[in-house]
Structure 1
Amino acid sequence: MRWLPCLYWFLCIGLIAACDRASSNFENGDVKESSAPQSEAAPPPPPGEVAPKEAKGEANVEIKLIKTGTLEFETSDLESTYQRIRTAAQTNGAFVSNESTANEYDRIVQHLTIRVPSRNFDPLLSAISKGVKHFDTKNIEAVDVTEEFVDAEARLKTKKQVEQRYQDLLKRANKISEILEIEKQIGELRAEIESIEGRLRYLSNRVDYSTLDIRFYKKVAEHRVVEENRFGRAFRNGWDGMVSFMIGLTSIWPFLIIFGIGGYFFWRRWRKK
């Protein structure tokens, strides 16, 4: 039985060696795992660039432009110019919303306000400009209302959602005070919704139909005023003054009678003395 202690010691030594190898393998595995390159997160886009999703969302937004124009020029024939503008307007699907004619000091002026579909604004402008040698005024402006349009649509959507929640609360309300309060809130929301809808309709109309103000004129002979004769003018002024004086006396005739009677009695008494 002497070999049993030796066997015991051999087993202990083997177990210790096995534990050392396992510990060594574990440490080597940790080092390899820690030394492996870690995947880095994608860097954020530079401040001046837009992320792909955001750019895609912005690309879907339709640009809303309100186009307006002002033209003023001289013509030798008012009637032919007027007919040419009306024909160009009809060809481009436009209509005249306002029309006026005025006689000024040395010219006859005609003014037209035309509403034209936005897609036909440039063709109409080109058709009217043909044959015009010089523009006294030519001003074309395009105002971008996309931001206001999108903001109004977003506010409208939010307020309609809130209104629907109030409608749901109204169906479950039991107390009269609750019903009155909810109806008050619904009324205020409805007024705001109708205001936003009206603003959107106005913007849509201005975007869909551009406005072109046209003012053209023809020069005529100046109307000179002939200076009157000084003597004739002085005589007329004197006559007018005398007439005014007589009218003034006529308006105070009761006082003249009273003063006349009083003066007569005063004169009689003064003569007796």
Structure 2
Amino acid sequence: MRNKTKWYTFLLMIMALALILGGCSEASSNMDSKGNGGTNSATTGATEQMSVSENKAVTATEGAAASSAEAPSAVGGSADGGSVGEIAAEGTGTGLNQKLIYKANLTIEAVDYDKAATALRNAIHQASGYILQFQDGQYNGEKSSTYTIKVPAAGFMDFIDRLDGIEHKKFERQISGTDVTEEYVDLQSRLKAQQVVEQRLLAFMDKATKADDLVKFSEQLATVQENIERLKGRIRYLDNNVSYSTIELRLYQPEAGADTKSVEDGLGGKMSQALNDSVDAMVTVLQGLLIFVAGALPILLLVAIIGLPIYWLRGRHRSKQSFRAHVKPPIAPTAKEDGQEEDPDQPKG
């Protein structure tokens, strides 16, 4: 009996141990399944977040690339920047919001004045510019003309390079720029402030019931509107000068052969120069004398017309007086002097 009881007890213990081991394995399997599920969910969420972040990063990168690709076309040149024309275009762009005014002073000594003037007008037309002022003339055999030209700022340097292509002996240029961004921003701020004051004064005038108040508001409004127009005019002036650059140009051609004329050295050259100077001085004196005679000729004729008859009459009168002085009348006989006899042959009386 004792052996059976022990054996039975041993079997019960084995079954109980088997049940315990089965429950533990089940719990561990459930826990593993739950843990794996949570890990998968977390991994999925992280993956989705990473994909979203990557999409945003790609979008931002594409936007930056697009912006960098569009930037050169927006400012009119590469990011390195180079010519003055590109800088002027950047000044007119909305990206940097800079206001730059460019001006150039050019001097061109042309080989053929007429051809150079024609090429200049063609260059102005091709650059979509216009002539603001023009003056020409010829002094001492030299043909010369001055221009004040306005060209678009974007083609400022291209226009100067085109002028450099004109056939010339000498080409001088001086380029300067002025940054008016600060003044432009200040003008816009003042304009907005004046416009706000204008709106307030208009509102006060609508609500005014007294004639005195209405008159005061009207005077103040007139002053504010005058300031607004002055600010707008200055802004328009700056916009025009920023959009169109100014070029002061002098085009000339010296007298033919003037560049080959040189001063000779030595005694012979100095003697020749002195002789030429003497001849020139004599010619100048003769010219002045002829001019004086031509100017005094009417007066000389008048003096001759009046003076010659007077001179002739005075000469005749003097000749008569001299003739009378030389011709004496006969002397009449006198009575017999003391101790002398009268001549019987001599008539009396």
The two structures share one fold, judged by TM-score above 0.5? yes
Instruction: Read off the aligned partner of 1:134 and give its amino acid letter.
Output: K
1:154 aligns with 2:189: yes
Q: CA RMSD for the aligned pairs?
A: 3.0
Runs of 4+ deviating beyond 4 Å: 221-227, 229-236, 238-248
Partner of 2:250: 215
The residue aligned with 1:145 is: 180
Residues in 2 aligned to 1:247 and 1:203: alpha-carbon distance in whole angstroms: 70
**Kindly tell me: are residues 187 and 229 of structure 1, through their superposed partners in 2, closer, same or farther at Cα, counting changes over 3 Å?**
closer
**1:28-65: CA deviation from partner (whole Å, max 9, x where unpaired):** xxxxxxxxxxxxxxxxxxxxxxxxxxxxxxx9661111
Unaligned runs of 5+ in 1: 1-58, 249-273
- The superposition leaves residues 236-257 of structure 1 with CA deviations (integer Å, 9 ceiling, x where unpaired) of 6467568568989xxxxxxxxx
Q: Alpha carbons of 1:94 and 1:237: their partners in 2 closer, same or farther (altered >3 Å)?
A: closer
Residue 113 of structure 1: aligned partner: 148
- Secondary structure of 2:125's aligned partner: helix
TM-fit CA distance, 1:87: 2.1
Matched residues in 1 for 2:288 and 2:145: separation?
38
Q: Would you say 1:192 and 2:227 are equivalent positions?
A: yes
Q: How far 1:218 sits from its partner (Å)? A: 1.0
Computing the radius of gyration from Cα coordinates, the structure with the larger value is: 2
Cα shift readout 1:82-141 (whole Å, capped 9, x = no counterpart): 222222222222122223321112410022222101111011011111244532x42211
Between the aligned partners of 1:192 and 1:164, the Cα distance in structure 2 is: 14
Mean Cα deviation higher: 76-85 or 184-193:
76-85
Residue in 2 aligned with 1:134? 170
C-alpha contact 1:75 1:216 (8 A) present in aligned 2: yes
CA distance in 1: counterparts of 2:206 and 2:254, whole angstroms: 72
Residue 115 (structure 2) pairs with residue 95 (structure 1): no
In 1, distance between residues paired with 2:103 and 2:293? 58
Quick one: which amino acid aligns to residue 220 of structure 1?
A: E
Q: Does 1:175 align with 2:206?
A: no
Q: Alignment partner of 1:134: what SS?
A: strand
Q: Distance in 2 between matches of 1:232 and 1:72?
A: 38
TM-score, normalised on structure 1?
A: 0.61
- Give matches, 1:11-160, under 5 Å: 62-130=97-165, 131-135=167-171, 137-160=172-195
**Is the CA contact 2:104–2:246 (under 8 Å) kept in the aligned structure 1?**
yes
* Percent identical residues: 26
1:160-207 Cα distance to aligned partner (Å, 9 max, x none)? 001111111111111111111111111110111111111111111111
Provide the rounded CA distance (Å) in 1 between the counterparts of 2:238 and 2:302.
63
Larger RCO of the pair (alpha carbons < 8 Å, separation 6+): 1
Q: TM-score, normalised by structure 2?
A: 0.48
Partner of residue 57, structure 2: none
Do the aligned partners of 2:130 and 2:149 also contact (CA within 8 Å) in 1? yes
On the 8 A contact 1:106/1:222 being kept in 2, the answer is: no
SS at match of 1:63: coil
Compared CA separation, residues 170 and 219, structure 1 to 2 (3 A): same
Give 1:233 shift: 4.5
Unpaired segments ≥5 residues, structure 2: 1-93, 259-275, 304-349
